């Protein structure tokens, strides 16, 4: 039984690492594309830069929210692992 619990905990640790990595990677790619498209749009039509900037900040908040949800899910797995409880640990 202890071996099964250790195996579940080790696989959970790997999953947590992947969640953190993909959350960071996805957010970085999203911010890079967002910033590039904002600069491209502002360079093409400078008069719309203020409107685009406001929308860019709204999308930036949504990008952060997605990664924070992933981090919260990883924290749940880290500190209150439901998988260990399901096997009777």
> What is the set of active-site residues?
64
* Close Cβ partners of 88 (under 8 Å, ≥ 6 residues apart): 1
Residue tagged 């093409």 (tokens): 44
- Give me the phi and psi of 88, to 5 degrees please: 90, 25
């Amino acid at each position: 039984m202890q071996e099964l619990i250790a195996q579940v905990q080790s696989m959970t640790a790997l999953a947590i690492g992947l969640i953190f990595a993909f959350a960071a990677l996805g957010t970085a790619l999203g911010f890079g594309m967002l910033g590039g498209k904002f600069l491209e749009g502002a360079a093409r039509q400078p008069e719309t830069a203020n409107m685009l900037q406001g929308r860019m900040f709204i999308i930036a908040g949504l990008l952060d929210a997605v990664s924070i949800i992933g981090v919260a899910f990883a924290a749940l797995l880290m500190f209150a692992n439901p998988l260990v409880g399901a096997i009777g640990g």
